[in-house]
Structure 1
């Protein structure tokens, strides 16, 4: 009886192989050591600066995200130190666990010891896993959630035990407190089940129980979004309208580049293996998800986690190739590790990062924030000393505001204000701030300057890399054109 017979008959599946715990843990912990060693080399990413501030304003929701990642950032810095390395400890732990889960997925597909280890190695050297593991981001914890959802979904299909819906619901509920994207893989899987079956797993009260668990856990953030007029929908709309066309054009190339071109044979082998087995709906979920992401103009990485599920399934069938061409296989995996490290980890000198920014712009966003703050401090000196008590620093985005809160006090700067994302909610300049306004603008624009009087550029950010802040204008205006309480809603920015 072949794999397809197991799918059609509904008979009990054969037991899974033993878990290769020791070698898999060695692979995962090796990645943890590398990430820890490199975690403090460049500096904070702009998003991390934002998460740390959000963590000091704990809430059930924020304009652009649910609360889990800011909460984790606060816990990590409180426990491990208020440094770059301290912030990233739990991100590293999450990545180690992710690699273990990918090996467990390989085991569920029937991979024996060597297939599990090969799947773990492929995950460990992939660019996406290393990239999101290096920093604190919503994608870091989202990846772990997707892998757990994949694991529980595969267990559900393999065993036909409806109780796995509870594990799916629990994981999905927690993931929804981190990022709403988790609805995508679950939706893709449900569509795939309706198309190719087995539909019997949907005819169970456990499905409703899983939905109830997920809804109960996600409810506090949903209520927060409702009470604040669903700001995250405005953010998502901005992303799609601004970047949708580019996202669609780059979707396929980035699917290959962000995981690694060398791993393409593995995920193709994994897709073929699943398509011929009881795991067919899991295989179909990936192209279904790609169609959805392309339709909405989402970012390419939205679909990457399901590629890792394919890689997990592809380890075992690729063993024949590895055995026949052991030398070539070692070279391929080493090249994958090296290229992934260069493009996603802080291994290059900061001055050379422009080489990798076209593929991974996040590298550049970790460089230059102290120097950025130095430039703002120099521009602040143009404000007459007797007017500084009523003057305002106006940051155009949350990265700038986060950096100034982090590095500004040591340079004698007052707290900045920003209308971007949740910074808009956290603080507004008082109406008594009737003096000069130092505007920080990625590029000079009437969107901001029309609200102030007599604006003149007094400085420019010159970064050593071509990141978003390179060329940012520092513009000094004489005063706001109207009270801040009136002006503030007019300059709010969701994206």
Structure 2
């Protein structure tokens, strides 16, 4: 005999939650054109032009998202609008998770407002990438698990598997979230569910959904694993010590929100007789796992909405147990205002509110130096801003070099980009200058391969003369690119190389750059 599913005593506060989600979308739409196209966005558009069941450094869903964006025109407002919609959906789902946990209307509103105001997620939702969709799938998994913990039909494990499988198609890091959830389930009363068939059936659904990407990886020699090994071997990412890693969690999620998500973690461990302990244990396991893997600090961002939802419910219950606050709206309103208003001074650090000189002046005034996530980063702006500057200007500089070639040379020439940002910029902005599509051996561009041409003339971006002279009989510095606010590594010469010593088809495997 099964126990009936326990249901929340209140209804979802749809109007309130939709209003907060709408505010989230409005913020990102208002700032969509403030800076330029981000480096990764340029690459993802190329993925959208080359749909596949996988990419070297990304799961396949990003190509589908980008294809939709291209069908809608591919403009910056379209890209950022899609990201903003996903961010708004996360805000809505966080509020609904608070409702599912038994939260009142006020708790739902606080959870949604906290999700809106989290600095890291403000920044992530301001850019088009798979990262903005990730918390949607993870919070969806948490929502289904809460229902299962509340006694819902075990057939709901099939829905859990579907959401988890789609999450894997969105980003492979969902696998680590899945491992953490598995550990959390085994450490909680929910482990009894594994005696039945439905959790295993749910795992089968997840595997079936993910199978096309797994087959693509196998057919291509598991390039994502090679890419990850290269990143680890080359020391590309900044490695944080335990204290730094913990500090970045506090800073990225907002110091003023620390009591809320930390309280949410405690509430999940202790409340309702430990019914939701699996989620709390999963967070602890995932935190340790990410630190042990030397992951970037922001990789934990998609796991926090469930803690914010739980924290909002726990705080609301705490107010109800205090006679002074019970049944009164003002303490809930005050905490919600606190969550939002204290994000305002931080917002210019993660959103393109200020122009570059204003940003530099602001960070100096408040004594804040944005941390680096990659060792090679150089430039006056943090990477998430610097990578939005200089691309149209780079393409214009390349066009000057291209137009300096004779018509006969242009007929047999190609533009070789050393990274996917440069290639994506040429492919997006180049047609207006009459440029052909770029070729590159970076990440998935390697699989898209070179066109059928002799390699007699190459316009090469960002390389050094010595390396090029080993490949070509003639190397000429034909132009230079310089931008005060873009990434410093993009500033440099633009070369014209003639007389490739080895046919490009033979040379191509040696040019592969997966990192």
| Contact kept in structure 1, 2:28 and 2:81, CA below 8 Å | no
| Contact kept in structure 2, 1:350 and 1:367, CA below 8 Å | no
Whole-Å separation in 1 of the counterparts to 2:251 and 2:206? 33
| Contact kept in structure 2, 1:157 and 1:279, CA below 8 Å | yes
Q: Determine whether 1:266 maps to 2:260.
A: yes
CA 1:244–1:166: 2 relative to 1, 3 Å = farther
Q: Kindly provide the CA deviation profile for residues 387-439 of structure 1, in whole angstroms up to 9, marking residues without a partner as x.
A: 3323331100111001001111222323221001111121314342313x222
| Contact kept in structure 2, 1:42 and 1:350, CA below 8 Å | no
Q: Determine whether 1:420 maps to 2:442.
A: yes
| Contact kept in structure 1, 2:135 and 2:305, CA below 8 Å | no
CA 1:448–1:95: 2 relative to 1, 3 Å = farther
Whole-Å separation in 1 of the counterparts to 2:234 and 2:416? 23
Structure 2 counterpart of 1:375 = 397
Taking the TM superposition and a 5 Å limit, the aligned residue runs for 1:1-80 are 14-16=6-8, 17-78=10-71, 80=72
Whole-Å separation in 1 of the counterparts to 2:156 and 2:345? 38
Which of 190, 209, 219 in structure 2 is aligned with 1:217? 209
Whole-Å separation in 1 of the counterparts to 2:219 and 2:165? 20
Structure 2 counterpart of 1:285 = 282
CA 1:445–1:103: 2 relative to 1, 3 Å = farther
Whole-Å separation in 1 of the counterparts to 2:183 and 2:74? 44
| Contact kept in structure 1, 2:180 and 2:282, CA below 8 Å | yes
CA 1:473–1:294: 2 relative to 1, 3 Å = farther
Whole-Å separation in 2 of the counterparts to 1:330 and 1:75? 36
Residue 485 of structure 1: how far off its partner (Å): 0.8
Structure 2 counterpart of 1:444 = 464
Q: Determine whether 1:190 maps to 2:197.
A: no
CA 1:15–1:449: 2 relative to 1, 3 Å = farther
Whole-Å separation in 2 of the counterparts to 1:329 and 1:427? 52
Aligned partner of residue 134 in structure 1, secondary structure: coil
CA 1:56–1:470: 2 relative to 1, 3 Å = closer
Structure 1 counterpart of 2:377 = none
| Contact kept in structure 2, 1:451 and 1:487, CA below 8 Å | no
Structure 2 counterpart of 1:482 = 502
Whole-Å separation in 1 of the counterparts to 2:478 and 2:456? 20
Structure 2 counterpart of 1:4 = none
Whole-Å separation in 2 of the counterparts to 1:115 and 1:426? 50
Q: Kindly provide the CA deviation profile for residues 37-91 of structure 1, in whole angstroms up to 9, marking residues without a partner as x.
A: 221221211111111111111111222222211111111331x323111233322
| Contact kept in structure 1, 2:163 and 2:206, CA below 8 Å | yes
| Contact kept in structure 2, 1:28 and 1:99, CA below 8 Å | yes
CA 1:96–1:330: 2 relative to 1, 3 Å = closer
Structure 2 spans left out of the alignment, 5+ residues: 320-324, 364-368, 373-381
Structure 1 counterpart of 2:153 = 161
Whole-Å separation in 2 of the counterparts to 1:23 and 1:398? 42
Aligned partner of residue 343 in structure 2, secondary structure: helix
Structure 1 spans left out of the alignment, 5+ residues: 1-9
Q: Kindly provide the CA deviation profile for residues 152-194 of structure 1, in whole angstroms up to 9, marking residues without a partner as x.
A: 1222222263222111100111122221111122210111222
Compute the RMSD of aligned alpha carbons. 2.6
Which of 192, 195, 200 in structure 2 is aligned with 1:208? 200
Residue 358 of structure 1: how far off its partner (Å): 4.1
| Contact kept in structure 1, 2:114 and 2:336, CA below 8 Å | no
Q: Kindly provide the CA deviation profile for residues 357-379 of structure 1, in whole angstroms up to 9, marking residues without a partner as x.
A: 64652122122211111222234
| Contact kept in structure 1, 2:181 and 2:278, CA below 8 Å | yes
Structure 2 counterpart of 1:346 = 352
Aligned partner of residue 218 in structure 1, secondary structure: helix
Whole-Å separation in 2 of the counterparts to 1:449 and 1:279? 63
Q: How many aligned positions are there?
A: 482
CA 1:260–1:174: 2 relative to 1, 3 Å = same
Whole-Å separation in 2 of the counterparts to 1:150 and 1:305? 11
CA 1:285–1:409: 2 relative to 1, 3 Å = same
| Contact kept in structure 2, 1:273 and 1:314, CA below 8 Å | yes
CA 1:245–1:398: 2 relative to 1, 3 Å = closer
Structure 1 counterpart of 2:122 = 130
CA 1:238–1:251: 2 relative to 1, 3 Å = farther
Residue 446 of structure 1: how far off its partner (Å): 6.0
Whole-Å separation in 2 of the counterparts to 1:470 and 1:323? 52
